[in-house]
Amino acid sequence: MFITGSADGLGQMAAQRLAGAGHEVVLHGRDEARAAEARRAVPDAADALAGDLASIAEVRELAERANRRGRFHAVIHNAAVGYREPRRIETADGLSHVFAINVLAPYLLTALITRPARLIYLTSGMARGGDASLRDLQWRDRPWRGAQAYSDSKLLDLVLAGAVARRWPDVLANAVAPGWVPTKMGGPGAPDDLAQGDETQAWLAVSEDSEALVSGRSFFHRAQQRMPAAAEDPAAQDGLLEACRELTAVALR
């Protein structure tokens, strides 16, 4: 298993759950210090890889290091930044920080890491308010709205999951909304059950239950949720894949 953003929060919880069940888990942190933190928190993990998901170059290097470990059974794209950024932050590649980490990094890792048996993308209930039109993806022309940028990114993660499920029928690709849980991102007042926040993604990664052996679906607490129309629209899926290809020069084959 490879889990991005597993130095804390739900990624760390999923890693602890899977490693505790005897699975070989590879962790991830944005730099060497965070990777070391992840390793200390999950001592049963096999390894921890470093890479800043805001950087296209570092995501490429991360994928190369991940591939050197061999083919993964499952990759959980957990890492994300939230909706509280008070202004548009631009990455070294000239991209919106929220889009780069939440959407482009999962796309690029999906395209570059040897195909696993299963892919899990973390989305959010806020995706219901997202815009999948691909208009001004980098927020250069619009006044910055952090909550909307986050909602858009989480809807696009659903679109990405749907696109991968359609393009790669030999891979189980699904999305999980963990709920509004009291993590560092969710905040201490979040009302949902933290104990269930990592359960569904871990279940989808390893379970042989018939309910888990599906693709192109969205889950909340192990129950399927209705997919937004955009996530099931081949035109929207292909549009996102093409936008990401143009930004990275890497196509999803």
Q: Indicate which residue of 107, 121, 150, 184 is catalytic.
A: 150
One-character DSSP codes across 159-178? HHHHHHHHH-TTSEEEEE--
Q: 194 Cβ partners below 8 Å, 6+ apart?
A: 13, 181, 182, 183
Q: Which two tokens stand for residue 128?
A: 């219901």
Burial 217-245 (b: 16+ CB within 10 A, else e): bbbbbeeebebbebbbbeebbebbbebbe
Let me know if 150 is a catalytic residue: yes
| Amino acid at site 138 | Q
Helix (H) or strand (E) holding 147: helix 146-167
Task: Based on the residue annotation, tell me whether 83 is a catalytic residue of this protein.
Answer: no
Instruction: Kindly list the strands in the beta sheet with 47-50, ordered across the sheet, starting from the edge strand earlier in the chain.
Output: 47-50, 26-29, 2-3, 74-77, 118-122, 172-176, 218-220, 223-225
Mind telling me the catalytic residues?
150, 154
